[in-house]
Structure 1
Amino acid sequence: MDIISILKQDYQKFPADQTYSIYAENVYFEDPLNKFRGINRYQKMIGFMSNWFNNIQLELHDISQSGNVIKTRWTLSWTAPAPWKPRMAIPGWSELKLDTNGLINSHIDYWDISRLDVLKQLFQMK
């Protein structure tokens, strides 16, 4: 199975049953809140999300590959663990770089909204 097909499946079932074998052991990850190296840290971050947030969905809007670079466009949404259960969402995109073995050795997420805009969603009463 090719890496694009695997990523599409992983997005559909995120955060459960992710295919960590497509990542290099020392993968570099960065988003507006985190910056680290290592597949173990990456697994812990996803585990934290699945333990802390409810009804997580990672909707894949687009995926493309050019050489050793894969770009995805997505919306991550979840229900926050607050008594009023606000639904929150981050639209964004990822740039994944493959090493010579075809493994993802760099995964950088970019958000289309600011961290403050994300935080504001927590306090929107509906």
Structure 2
Amino acid sequence: MEYELQVKQVLETLKKDLPTLFEQDISYDIYTNDIYFQDPVNKFKWKFNYRIIFWTLRFHGQLFFTEINFDLHDINQIAEDTILANWTVRGILRVPWKAKVFFNGYSTYKLTKNGLIYEHIDTWDRKPSEILQQFIRKGEQS
């Protein structure tokens, strides 16, 4: 019963944190100290580094974009120890031609026996190089 309550708390925290991750910091009490994170460009362990990646997302989001959003489509517990979140990142780059960035992905969170997240793996719908190509003005695009 305690595990189910903890997982419910983790789900509620993720639902609250993820949509605003480019605007404000997330809650770190739902993660283990040795949290492992991986996406197509990063791979590391430890909560200190996890905090840095979210700070970096906010910093670069505000620096390089006039608008940046993280749209959380759904988040569900798909197995006893696994949560899956589907999302889209979309934004407008701070360049004269207002290049748009858009990509979909999902986050897989693995839970310990006491309901804390010990692993966070992000999967994107395209390669990082394809996402970067969105920043470049192509032909007559505005």
TM-score when normalising by structure 2: 0.80
Q: Deviations over 1:4-61 (max 9, x none)?
A: 1111101122131301111111100000000000111111111112112233321111
Q: Which residue of 2 aligns with 1:52?
A: 60
Residue pair 1:50, 1:56 contacting (<8 A) in 2 also: no
- After superposition, residues 22-41 of structure 1 pair within 5 angstroms as 22-41=30-49
Instruction: Give the ranges of 4+ consecutive aligned residues of structure 1 lying more than 3 Å apart after TM superposition.
Output: 78-85
- Could you tell which deviates more after superposition, 41-50 or 71-80? 71-80
Q: Which residue of 2 aligns with 1:61?
A: 73
Deviation at 1:81, TM superposition (A): 4.4
- Could you tell which deviates more after superposition, 11-20 or 97-106? 11-20
Residue pair 2:34, 2:47 contacting (<8 A) in 1 also: yes
Q: How well do the aligned residues superpose, as a CA RMSD in angstroms?
A: 1.6
Q: Which residue of 1 aligns with 2:29?
A: 21
Structure 1 CA distance for aligned equivalents of residues 96 and 35 of structure 2:
36
* Equivalenced residues, count: 126
Tell me which structure has the larger Cα radius of gyration.
Answer: 2
> Residue type of the partner of 2:13?
I
Q: Does residue 4 in structure 1 map to residue 42 in structure 2? A: no
Q: Deviations over 1:80-104 (max 9, x none)?
A: 3445442312210111001122110
Structure 2 CA distance for aligned equivalents of residues 56 and 25 of structure 1:
29
| Fraction of identical pairs, as percent | 33
TM-score when normalising by structure 1: 0.90
- Could you tell which deviates more after superposition, 49-58 or 36-45? 49-58
Q: Which runs of 5+ in 1 are unaligned?
A: none
Deviation at 1:114, TM superposition (A): 1.4
